Amino acid sequence: MSALLVQDLHKSYGGIVALDGAQFAIEGPGIYGLIGPNGAGKTTLFDAIAGTVVPDSGRVVLGGRDVTGWSSHRMAAAGISRTFQECRVLLEETCLDNVLFAAQPKTLGASLAQVLTRASGHRRRCHDEAMRLLSLVRLQDYAHSPAAQLSFGQRRLLEIVSTFISSPQVFLLDEPASGVNPSLLEVLADFIRIMYAERPRVFLLVEHNMEFVMSLAQDIIVMHQGRVLERGSPAQVQASDKVVEAYLG
Amino acid sequence: MARLLLWLLGISGLALLVTAPQWTAGHPYVLHMLVLMCIYAIPAVGLNLMLGYSGLVSLGHMGFAGLGAYTAAVLMVDARWSFWSALGAATLAGALAGVLIGLICFRFRGHFFMIVTLAFGLLLHAVMNNWDEVTRGAAGFAGIPRPRPIAWGEGMISFGQLPNFYYLALALALLVFAVQYLVVRSNLGRILAAIRQDERLARSRGVNVLMYKTVVFALGTAMAGVGGVLQVSFLRVAAPASFNMLESINTVLIVIIGGAGSLLGPALGALLFVGLPEWLRLANEWRLVIFGGLLVLITLFAPTGLAGLLSRAWQRLARREGQP
């Protein structure tokens, strides 16, 4: 049983075909890279897995369960955690609260019960882990500052850290390196390696920064014109004529 | 130290409210104003949860207050229900209407959401104004009773007396503020704040945004219903004009001027809204002019409202105190 299976996905917007039979299977834990030239359909594919786009046809199967067309909050509950290309954090909340918010239960029953019982045990238990994650990306000094005070690169790190605390099965990181300066990029790469080493799960990175993704991922999926063009180790992919041709057009 | 002072301030404020019938003795007019303040503050708390904390700007809020008021009026006058059961039914009616209308309104976002809530407010008002057989139409629904006297030890508490009705109004207002406090300072409040700040992010974190919006909308409209019942029981008449678009806009003004998204905002807004024109001895028709002007000043210079101004002044004070 695959951890994540994408089968024959099709999606068009009017006359524009974004996904044209994209499919791949991710068998088990690992750091996977999803690359491709602009317009290859990476983001649409990502959105289909995360539940923000409903594919016209095809299937998304998560751990044996068909989750095609599920809304994103159900996807999140099923164990998919994502970041956004444009980077989204709660600007008014502190960094710590951003991480703790990701950790808190989201079902209505749990929320209403917490209103009445005011139980804070779960929050306290998550506190240390949240601080540890924040310090791994050197945000510990900003734990009690609103996220709005962070630079874009720091917000990116905060967003990524937040996705890791809810211990999902599949992480979708949408261009994690974009807008992050080179020194923070090192921090980010180390963070992802540490997270993977602690608990190997499926990490899927859409990335334009080739150096970054090739150094992290052991398995690269190349998309072109809405389908998977090539798949293999970084060395194999870099040597592939098809890939070179797709990029150079 | 600052925390202790804050507690003391809160307790003395509460004591001031509880002893109001004593220190206003001989000036029933002041107590009357305080009752009106509670009547305005209760729906405003509901709107604060929606507008201030969850980012849902409803322009038809008082329509739901009217729905609650007329539900209670019909039940008390035509069906001879007691005030308390009618209050419960009106609260439920407000919540139910909030769920049904909310689910329609949430198909729209931002400005479109506001317009649709405005339309539903107008619709509810039109029903109150025109359904003569049930609501008695534009002439108003007269003869709404105060709650029946309740036995208290040897004697009876009659709500015909202003101080006793004031305690009823104060108790309901405190209850609503307590609910607001519990909701805001909880995981539910954090989810609502996240929806206000970034709906897509909240969704990707597993929040069923539509469900939570519906819940807070229903909570807000239930509170509006409570306010409506209190109002018509106090005035002993339900008039459609008390629940028209202008009143809905007034409630928005109360929340924004008082401080949207702050616990005390609705109380401060209601205090100003009821008190200021009286204090200035201005006729009612100047009220909107003053508040329009205030709104402009507040949005320009104090976007967090009176509560924001107060808390900033407080912080400055606390900081000065902290310095050697």
Q: Which residue of chain B has the CA closest to A89?
A: B201
Q: Which of A53, A82, A87, A88 to mutate to test the interface with B (most CBs of B within 10 A)?
A: A88
* Cβ contact, residue pair A118, B186, below 8 Å: yes
Q: Name chain B contacts of A90, Cβ cutoff 8 Å.
A: 193-194, 197-198, 201
Which chain B residue has the Cα nearest residue A99? B205
- As a whole number, mean pLDDT of residues A63-82 equals 93
Mean model confidence pLDDT for chain B: 90
Tell me whether residue B204 is in a domain.
yes
Q: Is residue B179 part of a domain?
A: yes
| Percent of chain A surpassing pLDDT 70 | 100
**Over the stretch B39-83, which tens digit does the pLDDT of each residue have?**
999 999 999 999 999 999 999 999 999 999 999 999 999 999 999
Q: Is residue B56 part of a domain?
A: yes
Find the mean pLDDT for residues A188-199. 93
Whether B24 has a pLDDT exceeding 70, the answer reads yes
Q: What is the pTM of this model?
A: 0.91
Taking the CA of residue A29 as centre, how many other CA atoms within 13 Å lie in the half-sphere pointing to its CB?
10
Domains with residue ranges and CATH for chain A: 4-93+167-248 (3.40.50.300)
Is B205–A116 a contact, with Cβ atoms under 8 angstroms apart? no
Q: Is the pLDDT of residue A167 over 80?
A: no
Tell me: pLDDT of B235 over 80: yes
Closest to B41 (Cα-Cα) out of B194, B265, B248, B233: B265
pLDDT of residue B324: 47
User: Does B105 have pLDDT greater than 90?
Assistant: yes
For B58, the domain range is 28-244
Q: Cα separation of B155 and B53, whole Å?
A: 44
Asked whether residue B323 carries a pLDDT value surpassing 60, the answer given is no
Measured between CB atoms, which of B185, B186, B191 is closest to A106?
B191
| Confidence at residue B1, expressed as pLDDT on a 0 to 100 scale | 65
The nearest alpha carbon in chain B to A106 belongs to B207
Query: B193 and A90 in contact by Cβ < 8 A?
Result: yes
CB contact under 8 A, B187 and A105: yes
Using the predicted structure, report yes or no on whether residue A215 has a pLDDT greater than 70: yes
User: What per-residue confidence (pLDDT) applies to B285?
Assistant: 75
Given a contact cutoff of 8 angstroms between Cβ atoms, the answer to whether A165 and A129 are in contact is yes
Distance from CA of A102 to the nearest CA of B (A): 6
If you search the block for the tokens 């107008």, which residue do you land on?
A: B122
**CA–CA separation, B124 vs B238, rounded Å?**
14
Contacts of B182 in chain A (CB under 8 A): 115-116, 118
Alpha carbon of A103: minimum distance to chain B alpha carbons (Å): 9
The answer to whether position B275 is within a domain reads no
Distance from CA of B260 to the nearest CA of A (A): 15
- Which of B203, B205, B212 is facing A102, going by the closest CB pair? B205
Q: Is the pLDDT of residue A26 over 90?
A: yes
Provide DSSP, A125-148: HHHHHHHHHHHHTT-GGGTTSBGG
Query: What is the reported pLDDT for B321?
Result: 67
- Rounded mean pLDDT of chain A? 92
Classify residue B313: in a domain, yes or no.
no
Question: Is residue A154 very low, low, confident or very high in pLDDT (cuts 50, 70, 90)?
Answer: very high
A-chain residue closest to B203, CA distance: A73
Tell me the C-alpha distance between B204 and A75, whole Å: 8
Please say if the pLDDT value at position B2 is more than 80.
no
Give the C-alpha separation, A197 to A32, whole Å. Answer: 14
Q: Whole-angstrom Cα distance, residue A166 to residue A143?
A: 18
Q: Give the number of beta-carbon pairs within 8 Å between A and B.
A: 82
At residue B208, the pLDDT reads 96
Q: What is the pLDDT of residue B101?
A: 96
- Which of A75, A80, A81, A111 is the best mutation test for B, with the most CBs of B within 10 A? A111
Of B186, B188, B209, Cβ closest to residue A73: B209
Neighboring chain B residues of A52 at a CB cutoff of 8 Å = 200, 204
Q: What is the pLDDT of residue B309?
A: 86
Across the interface, whether the CB atoms of B206 and A76 are under 8 A apart is answered yes
Among the partner residues B186, B197, B205, nearest to A106 by beta-carbon distance: B205
* pLDDT digits 0-9 by tens, B215-226: 999 999 999 999
Of A191, A200, A83, nearest to A132 by C-alpha is A191
Q: What are the distances in angstroms from CA B202 to CA A19, A86, B10, B190, B191?
A: 26, 15, 34, 10, 7
Which residue among A71, A77, A91 places its CB closest to the CB of B197?
A: A91
- The predicted model gives B263-273 an average pLDDT of 92
Q: How confident is the model at residue B247, as a pLDDT?
A: 93
Tokens coding B34: 């305080």
Token look-up 């139980």 returns A119
Percent of chain A whose pLDDT exceeds 90? 80
Give a yes or no: residue B97 inside a domain: yes
Q: Do A90 and B198 touch (CB under 8 A)?
A: yes
With 0-12 / 13-18 / 19 or more C-beta atoms within 10 angstroms meaning exposed / middle / buried, residue B26 is exposed
| Chain B environment of A108 (Cβ under 8 Å) | 208, 211-212, 215
Return the bridge partners of A174, or none: A206
Residue B274 near residue B36, CB atoms below 8 Å: yes
Q: If you ran DSSP here, which 8-state letter would residue B77 be given?
A: I
Using CB atoms, which residue from A102, A115, A162 is nearest to B188? Answer: A115
Beta-carbon separation of B198 and A88 below 8 A: yes
- B148 within 8 A of B164, measured Cβ to Cβ: no
The least confident of A122-136, B84-98, B294-308 is B294-308
Is B19 a member of any domain? no
What is the tally of structural domains in chain B? 1
Give the pLDDT confidence score for residue A66 in this predicted structure.
94
| Residue B186 to residue A115, Cβ atoms within 8 A | yes
- Return the residue of A nearest to B210 by Cα: A73
**Nearest CB to B187: which of A88, A89, A111?**
A111
